[in-house]
């Protein structure tokens, strides 16, 4: 029997519909949520992500503030812009697209954003609150992963979860979210011994490493929930293609439920960004 597909596009559309209603309510109270998106430089992948984030936020009825700055922008000019956005009453969420050019310290920039407007959930205050189990703005990709996992299994208590990839954006925060659900977590990475064996122990397997097709079919426990966070551009049969970190065709024969790429975690990341912005707006404006 093949795995059932976890349809991230449909789940994101559902979330967008709910958010549109919430945005309308806020707008009727004169408090339309505002999202500021800052892009420094011309990285092609970042430009596509930012364009999608802006389009979706406008579709959902948000006020959108777009700042596209040249690669040569100085760190102090970027910090001044963030200070202005922190003080702007109609801006509820601030997102600075990463990666930033090498001459800008991303950590300093992230820490300069008002934690109450940090809709990426990257500020040390939000990272700390998440790890303490306190209210926090939660990073969008791991939040999207959790919503997809919970759409197929509501009670995760006691489940064995393996995350492959220890990034600050996905692996580490997802560890906290799965721990909150009483999973037993293994955070695996490039130095993990016998990665196939570790993966095979997972009831929930999340791949977030950026290596096309790394996770083979025989690394997957039969019936497992498999979440593929990878978005890799490869050339196959002379054509550019988007593939995940999981060998999709092989995984489909073994897993219980599986996210496709594209159409899995990607759309949920943007939906969760909008959800965080609505949450920030509700908290700020009461």
Residue in 92, 118, 120, 247 annotated catalytic: 120
Q: 3-class SS at 60?
A: coil
Contact call for residue 167 and ligand GUN (CB under 6 A):
no
- Residue number with CB closer to ligand GUN (95 or 137): 95
Site for ligand GUN in 146-165 (CB under 6 A): none
Torsion-angle region of residue 206: left (phi > 0), alpha (psi -120 to 50) or beta? beta
Count of residues near ligand GUN by CB under 6 A:
8
Q: Which of 73, 97, 129, 259 binds ligand GUN (CB under 6 A)?
A: 97
Structure tokens at 92: 């509820």
Q: How far is the CB of 33 from ligand GUN (least distance, A)?
A: 17
Identify whether 53 is a catalytic site residue. Answer: yes
List 53, 56, 117, 172, catalytic entry: 53
Greatest CA separation found in the chain?
57
The residue count of the chain comes to 286
Answer yes or no: are the C-beta atoms of 229 and 170 closer than 8 Å: yes
Print burial letters for 106-120: b (CB count within 10 Å at least 16), e (below 16): eeebbebbbbbbbbb
Q: CA 211 to CA 243: how far, in whole Å?
A: 9
Measure CA 234 to chain center. Answer: 21
Catalytic residue from among 56, 92, 97, 117: 97
From 26-34, 94-102, 144-152, 197-205, give the range in contact with ligand GUN by CB under 6 A: 94-102
Whole-number Cα distances in Å, 111 to 15, 63, 86, 123, 234: 29, 24, 12, 5, 34
Cβ closest to ligand GUN, residue 22 vs residue 138: 138
Least Å distance, CB 122 to ligand GUN, is 7
Taking CB under 6 A as the criterion, the residue among 82, 91, 164, 169 binding ligand GUN is 169
| CA gyration radius, the chain | 19
Nearer to ligand GUN, 38 or 178 (CB): 38
CA angle 144, 279, 273 (to 5 degrees): 35
Q: Give the residue among 246, 196, 197, 195 at the shortest CA–CA distance from 225.
A: 246
Of the residues 95, 199, 214, 257, which one makes contact with ligand GUN according to CB under 6 A: 95
Q: Is 69 in the site for ligand GUN (CB under 6 A)?
A: no
For ligand GUN, which stretch binds (CB under 6 A), given 90-98, 179-187, 209-217, 242-250?
A: 90-98
Q: How far is the C-alpha of 42 from the C-alpha of 253, rounded, in Å?
A: 40
Please tell me what DSSP assigns to residue 94: E
Q: Is 120 a catalytic residue?
A: yes
Indicate whether 98 belongs to the interface with ligand GUN (CB under 6 A).
yes
Nearer to ligand GUN, 140 or 156 (CB): 140
Exactly one of 94, 140, 231, 268 binds ligand GUN (CB under 6 A); that residue is 140
Residues with catalytic function:
53, 97, 120
Residues in contact with ligand GUN by CB under 6 A are 95-98, 120, 140-141, 169
């Amino acid at each position: 029997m093949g795995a059932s597909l976890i349809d991230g596009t449909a789940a994101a559309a559902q979330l967008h519909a709910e958010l549109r209603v919430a945005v309308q309510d806020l707008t009727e109270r004169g408090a339309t949520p505002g999202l500021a998106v800052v892009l420094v430089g011309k990285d092609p992948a970042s430009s596509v992500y930012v364009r999608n984030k802006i389009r979706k936020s406008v579709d959902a009825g948000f006020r959108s503030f777009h700042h596209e700055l040249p690669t040569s922008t100085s760190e102090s000019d970027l910090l001044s812009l963030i200070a202005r956005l922190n003080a702007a009453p109609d801006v509820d969420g601030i997102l600075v697209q990463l990666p930033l050019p090498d001459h800008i310290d991303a950590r300093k920039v992230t820490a300069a954003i008002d934690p109450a407007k940090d809709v990426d959930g990257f500020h040390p205050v939000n990272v700390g609150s998440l790890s303490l189990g306190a209210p926090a703005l939660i990073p969008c990709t791991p939040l999207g992963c959790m919503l997809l996992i919970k759409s197929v299994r509501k009670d995760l208590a006691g489940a064995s979860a393996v995350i492959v990839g220890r990034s600050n954006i996905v692996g580490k925060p997802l560890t906290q979210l799965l721990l909150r659900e009483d999973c037993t977590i293994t955070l695996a990475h490039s130095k993990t011994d016998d990665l196939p064996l570790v993966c095979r122990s997972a009831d929930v397997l999340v791949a977030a490493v950026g290596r096309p097709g790394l996770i083979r079919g025989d690394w997957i426990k039969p019936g497992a929930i498999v979440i593929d966070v990878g978005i890799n551009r490869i050339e196959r049969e002379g054509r550019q293609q988007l593939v995940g970190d999981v060998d999709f065709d092989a995984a489909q024969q073994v897993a219980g439920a599986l996210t496709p790429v594209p159409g899995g975690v990607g759309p949920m990341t943007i939906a969760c960004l909008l959800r965080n912005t609505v949450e920030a707006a509700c908290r700020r404006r009461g």
